[in-house]
Amino acid sequence: MHSDTRKYHATLPPSERAICRLLAEQIDRHLPEAENKIWHRHPVWFLAGNPVVGYSKLKGCIRLLFWSGQSFRTPGLAKEGTFKAAEARYTAADQIDVGLLKRWLIEARDVQWDYQNIVKRKGRLVRLK
């Protein structure tokens, strides 16, 4: 886990910190090749420069976001935004189903839309895998 992600965790109340630590541990475990950094003030993991998963503090919860999650076969994520992103929200670490999270993380590697070049393509997404 990147040191900036640890600093992000340190700013959170204990219950939210526990959620984020568990998410980060699972992401690092199942996407070990992913680069972790703070992007737009939140921890995000990238594969080949493309954002695939991250989380952020919202009012009253932690939101786990998969940039290509609407294309996943594994159920349980809610549509987010106008592109291909999908999310899960947590208010306690014990709400996280690590088996389900593992399945989403495996799909995050295999199902990707090219967010890295979305500006260059003027808002049009292209499927990478």
- Cβ–Cβ < 8 Å for 65, 78: no
Secondary structure of residue 43 in the 3-state scheme? strand
Q: Is residue 91 part of a domain?
A: yes
pLDDT digits (tens, 9 = 90+) for 93-117: 999 999 999 999 999 999 876 767 6
pLDDT at 118 over 70: no
Q: Is residue 12 part of a domain?
A: yes
pLDDT at res. 24 = 98
Phi-psi sector, 19: left (phi>0), alpha (psi -120 to 50), beta: alpha
Q: How far apart are CA 19 and CA 94, in angstroms?
A: 8
Range of the domain at 22: 3-110
Q: Is residue 118 part of a domain?
A: no
Q: Is residue 100 part of a domain?
A: yes
Q: Is residue 45 part of a domain?
A: yes
Q: Is residue 121 part of a domain?
A: no
- Cβ–Cβ < 8 Å for 69, 87: yes
Other Cβ atoms less than 10 A from the Cβ of 69: the count is 26
Q: Is residue 17 part of a domain?
A: yes
> Residue 87 belongs to a domain with what CATH number?
3.90.1150.200
Q: How far apart are CA 101 and CA 79, in angstroms?
A: 16
pLDDT at res. 124 = 67
pLDDT digits (tens, 9 = 90+) for 14-55: 999 999 999 999 999 999 999 999 999 999 999 989 999 999
Q: What's the number of domains the chain is made of?
A: 1
